Structure 1
Amino acid sequence: MSNQFLFADEPAQQQELPQEFWKILIVDDEPEVHAVTKLALSDFSFLGRGLEFHSAYSGEEARELATAHPDAAIVLLDVVMETDDAGLHVARFIREELGNRFTRIILRTGQPGQAPERTVIVNYDINDYKSKTELTAQKLFTAVMSSLRSYRDIITIDHSRQGLEKVIASSTNLFALQSMEHFIDGLVQQLSWVIGGARQTLYAAAGRSPDSEQLIIKAAYGEESDMLINQRIQAALPKKVLPEVDKVIRSHGIHYGDDFVLAYCPSQCRPQGALLCLTGLSRPLMDSERELLQLFADNVQLAHDNVTCLQDTDELLAGLVARLMELEQEKVAQLPDKQSAFVQVSQALADAYGMSKARAQQTATAATLYERAESLFAVMDNQPATRVSPCQERLKRAVRPLHMADSDVAHIAYRALNERIERWDGLGLPAGKQGDSIAVESQVLVLANHFCRLQKEDISEADLLQRLEAERGRHFSPAVLDALVKNLKNLTKKARVS
């Protein structure tokens, strides 16, 4: 039996740019240094945000403060406090123990000889080194401004990296709806930071019914993003933005407000397209950013349209499967001897196990589907590990209409395909189901399939029984196996049908 996964699936904390203030940690054992620093930077503003100060007066307090505020943009760090190198230990603690590579560390010392600049820069991961005697208010302003710009750029790059990782991770799975939503979520995240750090970026699309006009949020990034998914777009936007929504939808264009942008994303397969909304922009967009936004609006909907078309196809196929199963069930009932060996063995084994006539008939009809699809899954069993995941996605895609069909028979077949490599002892895949948690129809179909394969090997009855008994309680249910053994002659006859 194969031990390959049939289905598989896949999140990480990230640093955020502040919404209101840039956090500055002041670490110095002299209270007047704290007061002077706050006074010198009292009117500081960068990207529309002021500064928020947090103070520590010793190395120990600094470690606690750095732990409590991993989102601090800058640490103004004194070297000599309770010991001559207390500040250096704090810098190492931030970088190595906290693993914080984002916060900018500006070392300030009143005794440069205690920690020579060259030695400190080489041996410690700090970003600037200043002597207190030369650090005027203007130079402090310059140092903080340049450090904040570096911090902003580092966080932006990290967000872009995470957004790209989402896109790349999803690009191998574009035909699955969940992955496509993840794909769009990654694009929204990346766009949010590439074009200027909006406080909130939303992507809303219309429902799939022909008369649906409500735009529902499918991807969100920024403030309260988790709470906004599946909400109406009008409920999430600021009041000043609402009057422009209908205008943008009617014109199929883009509206640039003071601190927000609304962009319509036209659809090729639905009367209603989607809407991209960026709010809380800290500055007007540059021409290059407007071009990027236009490109996004024109093209991202194509990806969503692809999924919509696939869903339409799935629904059509699901309807056909349901109707086909009705006809197939009639055929299996009227012409049982005309079915394949596997179908006949499945029905005989279901009868022998004690299923009701109707349930045994459904299981036999499901066998006609299982037989066709199982041969596809067998291809995956022979793939190297590096190719299993793409095979899984292809097969999941192929059998999805079975799950969507309004047919008990199709559901039996779909479930059996899911459980085809589960084991009675719980050591199977993909879910590690055990015992009766595996559907009895699945147990019948899997054992019938295994039995038919053994029959093709043209082995003796004693050898066949020995190999079946070896799997009792391991791969196969003892009760289903007993039903097979007790009806071995009848099942063997059916298994040899050409």
Structure 2
Amino acid sequence: MSSHDEDDHDLLFAPESVLVPTEHPLDPWVVLIVDDEPQVHEVTELVMADFEFAGRHLLFLHAYSAAEARQVLASRSDVALILLDVVMETEHAGLDLARDIREQMRNHRSRIVLRTGQPGQAPEEHVIKNYDINDYKEKTELTKRKLNTVFFAALRSYRDILIIEQSKMALRRSIEAIQRIYDSHNLKVFASAVLDQVAHLLGYEAQGLCANRIAAYAASHMEGRLHVLAATPEYAGLLDEQGLMQLPEKVKQALDRAEREQRSHFDPHHCVGYYRTSGGSVSLLYMEFSDPVDHEAQELLEIFCSNVAITYEALLLREEVQETQRATVYILGEAVERRSNEGGAHVRRIAELAALLGQAWGLEPMEVEHLRQAAPLHDVGKIGIPDHILNKPAKLDADEWSQMQQHARIGHELLAQSDRRILRMGAQIALEHHERWDGQGYPQGLFGETISLPARIVALADVLDSLMSDRVYKKRWDFETAIDYIESQAGLHFDPRLVTLLMNRLDAVRAIYERFPDTSISAEL
């Protein structure tokens, strides 16, 4: 018996391997057979019925022409291997399809093995050189042993391509996560970004929570207690402080163990990442995974957890600095307002009205926050105006009015000395918030859009709040009368677009006055 016959005999009668059932069977490798001979389909599927690679068996799809194959490939993106006949409805149908797969369908994942019974129609050297295929075989040489070799080589290659693509996707997600964290303006947004990214980063479906225990000197208002920053829907109740009392026992034990032993713990389907920062704060990342987590993923989770802790502590410090800055601005603004016997809530209302209009205008969130912090500084120049002018209950004479107008330049000169963004915006607002849309304002007689947008916004907010507040020279107006006046000044005193934005948000304006009434000076100031 020839060696060729022995191979054929092996092809037909090779013993089947014993399949060991698994608890979580993996999806099979998808193989598409494209050939106009039904017998080729039948024999290939029969011979490879017991094939297994990386714990996964085979799922065969069938197409009997290039046209049918195009339909199959258009509907699926998981075809690992295409066994492609050259000669079908035309002499070069298979070659044309191979080119379309790569160039028209832009499918560079699927491995393509050309099979031909007429090698003269498509010489191997020409085909390998000019077509993006992965192997070229004559049908007569495809015994079971050689088919196994083809399948192993092709599926290994396909698997490696998927790994590379997943790695690239994980890198992209990492970059996106870094950007989201960079753009986060508070700890809750940061924590949500962390939890949203960690499972996707590793390619697993997961649920869990991210928590921190803050060192005493890191943030006094949160010291010592476990603080859940974010949670997937399954653990959403833990975001409430009372919810911590109902921590599931398995989670509590996992977190307690990690803190007690001061190290991370892993088992196939869950992990607790532990990291202690140099500042003494502890970061805990509890995750449950749908599939077993391999060693490489565990290492990445540990690195991720340490970076969460470090970044969280840095953001906590940043937020403390920002809160201190905001409080300082409000204290300074209120001190100026008290000098002129004006309500202490004035600066807070100006800040919120300005932020409302800035957001309505379409400013970016960071710009809105800068506007909120800079707006209370609009009248800081009044510290240079004598008390008898600030508190005069009657109309100012010409000389007094001239002196009062100087507060715009005084405020600008004070604030412009700093190179900090918020203070520089405050300097521009201080200088321009008494300019008018029609050019009849002071101190420079600017008009229209030559007045900076922050100053135009604060000008409207300042006049509205002045009308609705008691002053030494007048009583407050009611809400409707003040709004009517603002509307009448569109295109004269105020930017008409800003007036329209205000009129469309009167409920939000009322809400600001309910939150910050003149009779209630904020205790935290």
TM above 0.5, yes or no, is yes
2:205 to 200, 205, 230: 200
**One-letter amino acid of the counterpart of residue 338, structure 2:** E
Name the structure 2 match of 1:96. Answer: 103
| Equivalent position SS for 1:73 | strand
1:111 maps to which residue? Answer: 118
Q: Which residue of 2 aligns with 1:254?
A: 264
**Counterparts of 2:271 and 2:43, CA distance in 1:** 41
Provide the rounded CA distance (Å) in 2 between the counterparts of 1:240 and 1:53.
43
Whether 1:39 and 2:49 are equivalent positions in the alignment is: no
Q: How much does 1:64 deviate?
A: 0.8
Alpha-carbon deviation of 1:36? 2.5
Change in Cα spacing, 1:482 to 1:94, as seen in structure 2 (3 Å) is: same
Show the counterpart of 2:162: 155
Query: Which of residues 392, 400, 406 in structure 1 aligns to 2:369?
Result: 400
Q: Is the 8 A contact 2:265 2:273 kept in 1?
A: yes
Q: Deviations over 1:121-146 (max 9, x none)?
A: 22222222222221222322232222
Q: State percent identity of aligned pairs.
A: 32
Give the Cα–Cα distance (whole angstroms) in 2 for the partners of residues 20 and 272 of structure 1.
Answer: 40
Contact (CA 8 Å) 2:212, 2:226: kept in 1 or not? yes
Aligned to 2:306: 298
| 2:273 matches 1:263 | yes
Tell me the CA shift for residue 67 of structure 1: 0.8
- Counterpart of 1:188 (choices 192, 198, 210) is 198
Q: Where do 1:347-496 residues align within 5 Å?
A: 396=366, 400=369, 445=433, 448=436, 456=444, 479-483=489-493
Higher relative contact order (CA 8 A, sep 6+): 1
Residues 174 and 265 of structure 1: is their aligned pair in 2 closer, same or farther, counting only changes over 3 Å? Answer: same
User: Aligned in 2, Cα 1:358/1:62: closer, same or farther, shift over 3 Å?
Assistant: same
Q: Is the contact made by 1:267 and 1:302 (CA closer than 8 Å) also made in structure 2? A: yes
In the aligned structure 2, how far is the partner of 1:369 from the partner of 1:90?
A: 62
- Three-state SS of the structure 2 residue aligned to 1:142 is helix
| Distance (Å, rounded) in 1 between the aligned partners of 2:493 and 2:441 | 18
Counterpart residue type for residue 297 of structure 1: C
The alpha-carbon deviation at position 59 of structure 1 amounts to 0.9
> How far is 1:455 from its partner?
5.4
What's the counterpart of residue 128 of structure 1?
135
CA offsets, 1:170-212, max 9 Å, x none? 65675422785697479736862xxxxx643567312796645
- Could you say if the C-alpha distance between residues 300 and 49 of structure 1 is closer, same or farther in structure 2, counting changes exceeding 3 Å? farther
Deviation, 1:290, is 5.6
CA distance in 2, matches of 1:314, 1:93: 57
Which of 309, 317, 327 is 1:309 aligned to?
317
- Structure 1 Cα separation of the partners of residues 285 and 226 of structure 2: 14
Instruction: Evaluate the alpha carbon distance shift between residue 483 and residue 333 of structure 1 in structure 2; reply closer, same or farther with a 3 A threshold.
Output: farther
User: Which residue number corresponds to residue 176 of structure 1?
Assistant: 183
1:65 Cα deviation from its structure 2 partner:
0.5
Query: AA paired with 2:49?
Result: S
The residue aligned with 1:53 is 60
Report the structure number with the largest CA radius of gyration.
2
Q: Which residue of 2 aligns with 1:67?
A: 74
Q: Secondary structure at the match of 1:52?
A: strand
Indicate which of 323, 330, 342 corresponds to 2:338.
330
**Amino acid of the residue matched to residue 206 of structure 1?**
A
- TM-score normalised by the chain length of structure 2: 0.53
Offset of 1:297 from its aligned partner?
3.4
Query: 1:285: which partner in 2?
Result: 295
| In structure 1, distance between residues paired with 2:250 and 2:28 | 24
Deviation at 1:246, TM superposition (A): 5.4
Residues 415-437 of structure 1 show CA distances to partners (whole Å, capped at 9, x for unaligned) of xxxxxxxxxxxxxxxxxxxxxxx
Distance 1:269 1:248 in 2: 18
- 2:307 partner amino acid: N
* Residue 63 of structure 1: how far off its partner (Å): 0.5
Query: 1:86 — aligned with what?
Result: 93
Please list the CA deviations of residues 88-141 of structure 1 after superposition, one character each: whole Å capped at 9, or x if unmatched: 222222212221222222222222222222222222222222222212223222
C-alpha displacement at 1:55, in angstroms?
Answer: 1.7
Aligned mates of 2:130, 2:113 — CA distance in 1: 15
**CA distance, structure 2, for counterparts of residue 452 and residue 269 of structure 1:** 56
Q: Is the 8 A contact 1:262 1:278 kept in 2?
A: no
Output the CA distance in 1 between the equivalents of 2:252 and 2:449.
Answer: 70
For 1:301, the aligned partner's letter is A
**Which of 62, 77, 84 is 1:77 aligned to?**
84
1:284-331 CA distance string (max 9 Å, x none): 537xx7655543433343123323333344444445555555444434
Q: Structure 2: which amino acid aligns with 1:400?
A: E
Q: Which moved more, 1:43-52 or 1:80-89?
A: 43-52
What's the secondary structure of 2:140's corresponding residue? coil
**Is contact 2:26-2:55 (8 Å) kept?**
no
Q: Choose the corresponding residue for 1:143, options 140, 150, 155.
A: 150
In the TM superposition, what is the alpha-carbon distance from 1:369 to its structure 2 partner?
Answer: 9.4
Counterpart secondary structure, 2:491: helix
CA distance, structure 2, for counterparts of residue 313 and residue 266 of structure 1: 22
Asked if 2 retains the 8 angstrom alpha-carbon contact of 1:329 and 1:365, the reply is no
2:317 and 2:327 map into 1 onto residues whose CA distance is: 16
- The number of residue pairs the alignment matches comes to 362
SS at match of 1:273: strand
Q: What RMSD, in angstroms, separates the aligned Cα atoms of the two structures?
A: 5.3
SS class of match (1:481): coil
Show structure 2 runs of 5+ residues with no match: 1-24, 214-221, 244-248, 380-428, 452-456, 461-486, 496-525
Aligned counterpart in structure 2 of residue 274 of structure 1, from 281, 284, 292 = 284
CA contact (8 A) 1:253 1:264 kept: yes
